[in-house]
Amino acid sequence: MDNAKNNVIGFGTAPVFFAAISTILGAILFLRFGFAVGTLGFFGVLLIIIVGHLVTLPTALAISEIATNQRVEGGGEYFIISRSFGLNIGATIGIALYLSQAISVAFYIIAFTEAFSPLFDWVKTTYNLDLPRQVISVPSMLALSALIIKKGANLGVKALYIVVTILAVSLVAFFLGSSDYSSTSELGLFDRSFRNSNQFFLVFAIVFPAFTGMTAGVGLSGDLKDPKKSIPLGTLAATLVGMVVYIAVIWKLSGSAAPEDLISDQLIMGKIALFGNVLIPIGLAASTLSSAIGSILVAPRTLQAIGLDSSFPIMPLNKYIAKGRGEVNEPLNATIITCVIAVVFVALGDVNAVAEIISMFFMVTYGSICLISFLHHFGSDPSYRPTFRSRWYFSLIGFTLCIWLMFQMNPTYAVLSIFIMVLMYLGIDNYHTSRKGLEAIFQGAIFQLSRTLQVYSQKSNKLRKTWRPSAICVSKDSFEREKAFELLNWISHKHGFGTYIHLIEGYYSKTSTIEAKKVLDKLIKRSSKIGGNLYIDTLISPSYTSAIAQAIQLPSPSGMDNNMIIFEYDKKTPLNLDQIIDNIALTQAGSYDVCVLGSSSRTVRPENGIHVWIQNLGDENAGLMILLSYIILGHPDWSAGHIKIFSVCAPGETENVKKDLNDFVISGRLPITEKNIQVIERDENLSFKSLVNYNSHDAALTLIGFREELIKHEGTSFFEGYDKIADVLFVDAFSKKEIE
């Protein structure tokens, strides 16, 4: 049993190398490199090779790196992407990759048919019969399908050795050959040209599929004895060998045929090689057949891996695709599906338009792999410990070039490819809501960026001239009243930062810790529903005062120092108002601005506006109250809201005070119209609370200033008596806020 198993599984590095090199030295090399050299000249195609390898080499390095960091199982590139980016993104890219691989089989079989061009020409000349290419391509595809389905990967790998040998003989014959052109023209290095630069990206799009074979061997990951060794060694070796052969071929072509012959004759290599009429068609057949074999081995393994992860929204389909054969789970059903897709496209006979989309999807795959590598480098995750290391700038170059080249090659197909990818992701993510999505990709990178910004922000604190709120709220009534949560969310939406802490009164223990985690999950879900920008946490503390003392000493996650604290009580039953008053002095010791929110049972109606009551412009609270109202108004909930300023003045001072307020609003560029500035003369028969209750009865939120000294004398009575208005925010600024 063990011997039988060893005959089927446990491949070394050679299959990875041969699967990649046979795809690299494939149809494009034999059929399109002559056209490319004839159009752009030696240096033009050399630039294509350099640019192409600026994509493939970073990708090869990234694959090698990621493959040595984790156990790589079946699925090749799909496995690497899904285990690094999450299953939803992995499935999205994996489906695109699979379709590219499956249609590539058809592309190579159609190119394989071109090796029989002499036969088609002979039939036409002898019998005046113009045979369709499908008389060769369809039976060839069916025969290849039957062999792979019946024999599996073992036969495919053995076939690779044979076709690679034929390919090598053909290339040697090409390099040993000569032509009349080469014997009469002696072109040196600097005699070769770069022409038609305006057609560079057109030719690049035609030639680029030649570079997509670099990762062909990665798809055999599940059949390898040691993927961590074989994938890096085989992939990099094939990439470098392919690059050297490409350069040698274009050098030979540029000196062996005139540009017009290179452009017009797609089998020009046969006119140059020794015994070229025989060996080059055989070499073309071998290269395209080997590429087709490589793709037909890799594509089903990609599809099977997607099915094993149950990524499709139809469970019976996942089970069918995932079903394998034998001890090594040979992807039988996935191979059948791949062969059916390939036969359909072979029967159509022309996949040129599809080939460009294939190139786009390959670009997306390569770009994704480079991005994974870059983010791992940037994120510095301690669990990322590959034995082979690339460099972050190689990966960044590869990713950037992939995106840029997609739009240079064909902007329409680039947009279409990205659009299809987005649709697939949304569908998969909607079906698999419990799996990691886009937010999981950048976690490490965001952590590093956040850490760097926090440190920078702390160091530059002394340079900060403008004020913005970094507010903190500690409450044990999170599930009884949401007004403080909402207020903090409004403040932190655009201009500030908010930290909401739910207090669990008690001593720190295993039980209280478990409770704290459950509460935190609930609060985070609440914040997600309302689209909040709050940082939410829980705090276990034996008393409210100790919790406040702990909270005001905590650093803000934003990197700023916390500079404001928000207290909250229920206006109808102010049970905790005494506690709040007792702790205001404590927060003042930390230079905090203090806000005390009196919550009513009324629903907030932003269209009724924010009313700000100012005693006089010289008051330290005036600037803070106006800034807070402006900041709150920036939240989308308040899009229909407005700010209205009220001021109480001595008799006869109305016009002067109103002018001062209007000048203040204009100079501060505040969104407050003159009609929303109201000055009221003081009436000894009417208390301040009566004026507020009357004029702000319908306001959504009312802001009133206070001083700590006043609270010491009046106690809770200062906050009482505002029963006619809705929510009221009492504000005590530690220092004056200038509105510049």
Q: What is the mean pLDDT of residues 691-712?
A: 93
CA 731/CA 530 separation, integer angstroms: 26
More confident residue, 527 or 637: 637
Q: Dump pLDDT digits (tens) for 465-512.
A: 578 899 999 999 999 898 999 999 999 888 888 999 999 999 999 999
Q: Dump pLDDT digits (tens) for 85-112.
A: 778 888 888 888 888 888 888 888 888 8
pLDDT for position 458: 62
How distant, in Å, are the alpha carbons of 20, 219, 375, 520 from that of 213? 5, 11, 25, 49
Q: What share of the chain is helix, strand, coil (3-state, %, to 5)?
A: 65, 10, 25
pLDDT for position 153: 56
Reported confidence tier of residue 567, pLDDT bands at 50, 70, 90: very high
CA 481/CA 491 separation, integer angstroms: 18
Q: What sign for the dihedral angle of Cα 69, 74, 80, 84?
A: negative
Q: What sign for the dihedral angle of Cα 723, 726, 727, 728?
A: negative
pLDDT for position 440: 59
Mean pLDDT of the chain: 84
Quick count: other Cβ atoms within 10 Å of Cβ 683? Answer: 11
Q: What angle do CA 301, 305, 310 make, to 5 degrees?
A: 145
pTM here? 0.64
Among the listed residues 64, 220, 61, the one whose alpha carbon sits nearest the alpha carbon of residue 154: 220
pLDDT for position 4: 40
CA 595/CA 610 separation, integer angstroms: 15
How distant, in Å, are the alpha carbons of 96, 209, 364, 404, 426 from that of 419? 12, 22, 12, 16, 11
pLDDT for position 8: 44
Percent of the chain clearing pLDDT 90 (strictly above): 30
More confident residue, 451 or 411: 411
Quick count: other Cβ atoms within 10 Å of Cβ 673? Answer: 12
Element spanning 612, H or E: strand 610-614
Quick count: other Cβ atoms within 10 Å of Cβ 591? Answer: 12
Q: Which long-range contacts (CB under 8 A, 24 or more apart) does 679-688 make?
A: 679/646, 679/647, 679/648, 679/649, 679/654, 680/646, 680/647, 680/648, 680/649, 681/648, 681/649, 681/650, 681/651, 681/652, 681/653, 681/654, 682/648, 682/649, 682/650, 682/651, 688/648
**Residue linked to tokens 């090689």:** 273
Q: What is the mean pLDDT of residues 288-304?
A: 82
pLDDT for position 222: 61
Token representation of residue 321? 């695709």
CA 618/CA 137 separation, integer angstroms: 89
Residues 6+ away with beta carbon under 8 Å from 336: 149
Residues 30/287, Cβ–Cβ less than 8 Å = yes
Length of the chain: 740
CA 134/CA 132 separation, integer angstroms: 5
Query: Which domains are assigned to the chain?
Result: 2-435 (1.20.1740.10), 464-732 (3.40.50.12370)
Q: Is the pLDDT of residue 157 over 70?
A: no
pLDDT for position 512: 92
- What is the pairing mode between strands 727-732 and 497-505? unpaired
- 3-state secondary structure labels for all residues of 442-479: CHHHHHHHHHHHHHHHHHCHHHCCCCCCEEEEEECCCC
- 3-state secondary structure labels for all residues of 66-82: HHCCCCCCCCCHHHHHH
CA 236/CA 243 separation, integer angstroms: 11
Which ranges in 309-391 belong to alpha helices (H)?
315-322, 332-348, 352-379
Reported confidence tier of residue 1, pLDDT bands at 50, 70, 90: very low
Which ranges in 177-275 belong to alpha helices (H)?
180-184, 200-207, 227-254, 259-264, 269-272
Q: What is the mean pLDDT of residues 238-264?
A: 90
Instruction: Report the C-alpha dihedral over residues 88, 93, 94, 99, rounded to 10 degrees.
Output: 140
Burial class (CB in 10 A: 0-12, 13-18, 19+), 355: buried
Q: What is the mean pLDDT of residues 662-680?
A: 88
Among the listed residues 440, 374, 63, the one whose alpha carbon sits nearest the alpha carbon of residue 228: 63
Q: Report CA 458 to chain centroid distance, whole Å.
A: 29
pLDDT for position 10: 62
What are the backbone angles phi and psi of residue 162, rounded to the nearest 5°? Answer: -70, -50
